[in-house]
Chains A and B, each alone.
Chain A
Amino acid sequence: MTSILIRGRETSGLPATATVKAPPVTTAIEFRDVSKTFVTRRTSFSALTNVSLSIPRGDIFGIVGYSGAGKSTLLRTVNALERPTSGSVFVNGHEISALRGRALYQARQRIGMIFQQFNLLQSRTVFANIAYPLALAGVAKPEVVDRVEELLEFVGLSDKAFAYPSRLSGGQKQRVGIARALANRPDVLISDEATSALDPDTTAEVLELLKRTNAEYGITIALVTHEIDVVRSIADRVAVMERGEVVEHGTAYRVFSRPEHPTTRRFVSSVLQHVPSDETLDRIRRTHSGRLVQIAIDNPDASDPYLSRISREHGVDATVVFGGVSEIAAKLFGSLIVELSGDDRAVDAAIRDLARTVSVTEVPHG
């Protein structure tokens, strides 16, 4: 990151990093210095390198990254489908990466998982698919029937109870997958690209269902996706992965409004046009000779007409050269790149003044 952060958020005490929900008291999932090396006959490949990350209880936590970044590998350590080469993974305070045999099988019953390809059992009806994990947990027959009916109702598939998966649409299959994952009332739900095989409308429906799952049952959801849009629409917090490392993480609001790592910026700019990609930034630098500042629009309540005010008070010209404002988690955010022209010292003063109201970052030339 080449730009200089001028302290604005901290001094002005803006609620930029406040989450949509109350701050979590405990941690649902914790990755502690997790590394994973895949060793094949000839080569060894480091898929995860010292990943440390905490996922607060009750959150929807999005893990984004390009294909091959190590997202699935990381997610699969949560239910020990993959074991870290070093480091440990805690789920609800228990070290899942240390469990073996029966203890592990029992722990997995409390961790729901949904998949890109749904992974339903083709030889069983929808009802039997959802009942499967209940049988594993030794739930009594009459209870199983009640629970499955309740789940079918929750995912809106009561009329498909005795259909076979091959007769369902992709969205319906994923609903069954979700119902199955929720059967044993898990504390944690993990999702590996659960909407990546679905069309946009169906994706929205499934995400809505996940949101409802999180809101109604308070289940912590960790979801992995290469689609930043998925994260934008439901995640409270985001981690960005690249080459086996978490390169940036924070609240969705912060990551989207002030992406720091180049990869994050690339992701964010692909869906939010107001954050310039590094290429766009270069072009702006070439075509504007004045000093450039990036202003984060993350204080929508501010009534301060800051642009016209600094222009008037410091005698500088302020021109918006790039930007936009959108909404995430019911909050406005965005960013503007403003060109400030005038006497260097006046511009300095104007920037300091701006920083009292908004979060402002100078974009260096060159």
Chain B
Amino acid sequence: MDEAYFTALIPRIWQALAETGLMVSVSFLLAGILGVGLGLLLYASRPGNLLENRVVFGVLNAVINIIRPVPFLIVAVSIIPFTRLIVGTSIGPLAATVPLVLVASVAIARISESNLVAVDPGAVEAGAAMGASPARVLFTIVIPEALGPLVLGLTYIFVALVDATAVAGVVGGGGLGHLAITYGYQRFDWFVVGVIVLILIVLVQSAQLLGNWISRRVMHA
């Protein structure tokens, strides 16, 4: 390993890190908005809740149950036509973002729903007893009370996204996973693989610590 080796490697790592950062942050942001929205809809349309609607609840529930168990790789490959339609290409970090958003949204929807459902029914009842409308109960009691565990759930999804981008890399998404495979694994350069794994560990660990800290700030349990 000489100086030339590093001058060639380091820019590649920076670029891969930037690609991974782009894929993870864009898909996390979009999936966060979509997923939490879907989770709220799922919760509110549950039998007995604010927007009780068997059809909406049933359809959402079924769609989520169908997508969730499918391995990410298969989702990514099978929605290629859709990806092309949206971003114009099926290769590169931007293209990888489409299946990432889909998979993460579905997971976040389910996590949001279960955290909302898990809110102490006593707190909900107290809200109703004080004269809060069902909508008010949802926004000023159910969501704030669910926020702590929800942040932990989102952190889990963030970490899963870092993992999924590595897989996305294999199918042409770029990023750290792609670099580890093409530059490291396929050339038997275990040093590169080691460095990338280390970067991923630091990334995941920081995300987890940040998530824990935020959830503690909002939970007060």
| A contact set with B: CB distance below 8 Å | 79, 81, 102, 104-109, 111, 113, 115, 117-124, 132-133, 136-137, 164-166, 180
Are B123 and A122 within 8 A (Cβ)?
yes
How far apart sit A122 and B120, CA to CA, in the bound complex (Å)? 10
- Quick one: which of B205-221 are within 8 Å of A by CB? 218-221
A105 cross-chain contacts in B, Cβ below 8 A: 131-133
Is B163 among interface residues, defined by CB-CB distance under 8 A?
no
Q: How far, in Å, is B86 (CB) from chain A's closest CB?
A: 38
**Cβ of B173 < 8 Å from any Cβ of A?**
no
Contact A113 B126, beta carbon cutoff 8 Å: yes
Residues in A whose Cβ lies below 8 Å from that of B120: 119, 122
> Which one of B123, B136, B144, B148 contacts A119 once the chains associate, using CB atoms below 8 Å?
B123
Closest to A137 in B: B131
CB pair A79–B129 under 8 Å, yes or no, is: yes
Taking a contact as CB atoms under 8 Å apart, the answer to whether A133 and B131 are in contact is yes
Given A122-B145, A122-B221, does the pair A108, B131 have CB atoms closer than 8 Å?
A: yes
Q: Which of A123, A165, A180 has the most CB of B within 10 A?
A: A123
> Contact at A81–B220, with CB atoms within 8 Å?
no
Chain B count of residues within 8 A CB distance of the other chain: 22
User: When the two chains form their complex, are residues A108 and B128 in contact, meaning their CB atoms are under 8 A apart?
Assistant: yes
Contact in complex: B147, A123 (CB < 8 Å): yes
Q: Is B34's CB within 8 Å of the partner chain A?
A: no
- Is B22 positioned at the interface, with any CB of A under 8 Å from its CB? no
7 pairs from A and B in contact (CB 8 Å cutoff): A81-B125, A113-B129, A115-B122, A121-B145, A123-B145, A166-B221, A180-B130
Closest Cβ of chain A to B190, distance in Å, is 48
Assess whether A164 is in contact with B220, with CB atoms less than 8 Å apart: yes
Measured CB to CB, the closest approach of chain A to B72, in angstroms, equals: 34
The verdict on A119 contacting B131 (CB below 8 Å), with A124-B144, A166-B220 known, is no
Assuming A122-B145, A123-B147, A123-B218, is B131 touching A109 (CB within 8 A)?
A: yes
Does B141 reach chain A (CB closer than 8 Å)?
Answer: yes
Contact B128 A81 (CB under 8 A): yes
How far apart are the CA atoms of A121 and B137 in the complex, in Å? 11
The reply to whether A133 and B141 contact each other, CB–CB distance below 8 Å, is no
Q: Chain B residues with Cβ under 8 A from A79's Cβ? A: 129
List, in ascending order, chain A residues with CB within 8 A of B126's CB. Answer: 113, 115, 119-121
B136 touches A136 (CB 8 A): yes
> What are the residues of chain A within 8 A of B218 when measuring CB–CB?
123
Residues of B within 8 A of A81 (CB): 125, 128-129
Instruction: Return chain A residues, CB-CB under 8 Å to B136.
Output: 136
B124 CB, nearest partner CB in chain A, Å: 9
**Which of chain B's residues have a CB closer than 8 A to the CB of A123?**
144-145, 147-148, 218-220
Expressed in whole angstroms, the Cα–Cα distance for A165 and B126 within the complex equals 15
Which 3 interchain pairs have the tightest Cβ spacing?
A108-B131, A119-B122, A119-B126
Closest Cβ neighbor of B124 among chain A residues: A119
Tell me whether B220 and A108 are in contact (CB under 8 A): no
In the complex, which residues of chain B have a beta carbon less than 8 angstroms from the beta carbon of A111? 129
User: How far is the CB of B19 from the nearest CB of chain A, in Å?
Assistant: 37
Collect the chain B residues with CB atoms within 8 Å of residue A122's CB.
Answer: 120, 123, 145, 219-221
A121 nearest CB neighbor, chain B only: B123
Candidate in B120, B133, B220 with the most chain A CB atoms within 10 angstroms: B220
CA distance A10 to B87 in the complex (A): 92
Once bound together, how far apart are the Cα atoms of A120 and B129, in whole Å? Answer: 12
A124 to B143, CA, bound (A): 12
A121 to chain B, nearest CB (A): 6
Query: Residue on A with the closest CB to B140?
Result: A132
Q: In the complex, what distance in Å separates the CA atom of A164 from the CA atom of B120?
A: 16
B219 touches A119 (CB 8 A): no
Is B131 a contact of A107 with CB atoms below 8 Å?
yes
Q: A117-B122, A119-B126 are in contact. List 12 more A-B contacts (CB 8 A).
A: A105-B132, A108-B129, A108-B130, A109-B131, A121-B126, A122-B120, A122-B145, A122-B219, A123-B219, A124-B144, A136-B132, A180-B130
CA of A120 to CA of B148, assembled, Å: 16
On whether the beta carbons of B144 and A109 are closer than 8 Å, the reply is no
Taken residue by residue from 94 to 137, chain B's Cβ proximity to chain A (1 for < 8 Å, 0 otherwise) reads as 00000000000000000000000000101101101111110010
Chain B's closest residue to A104 (CB) is B131
With a 10 A CB-CB cut-off, give which of B120, B129, B136, B141 has the most chain A CB atoms.
B129
Q: How far is B133's CA from A143's CA once the two chains are assembled, in angstroms? A: 23
Which residues from A are CB-within-8-Å of B141? 121
Which residues of B are found within 8 Å of A119, using beta-carbon distances? Answer: 120, 122-123, 125-126
User: How far is it, in angstroms, between the C-alpha of A120 and the C-alpha of B130 when the chains are bound?
Assistant: 12
Question: Complex Cα distance A105/B134, Å?
Answer: 10
Q: Please indicate the chain B residues that have their CB under 8 angstroms from the CB of A113 in the complex.
A: 126, 129-130
B139-176 CB contact bits vs A (8 Å, 1 = yes)? Answer: 01100110110000000000000000000000000000
Q: State A164–B128 Cα separation when bound (angstroms).
A: 21
Give the residues in chain A near B122, CB-CB below 8 Å: 115, 117-119
Beyond A119-B123, A123-B144, A136-B136, is A106–B220 a contact (Cβ under 8 Å)?
Answer: no
Which chain B residues lie closer than 8 Å to A102 at the CB level?
133
Cα A106 to Cα B145 with chains together (Å): 24
Which residue of chain B is the closest to A78 with respect to CB atoms?
B129
What are the residues of chain A within 8 A of B129 when measuring CB–CB?
Answer: 79, 81, 108, 111, 113
Residue of A nearest to B121 (CB): A119
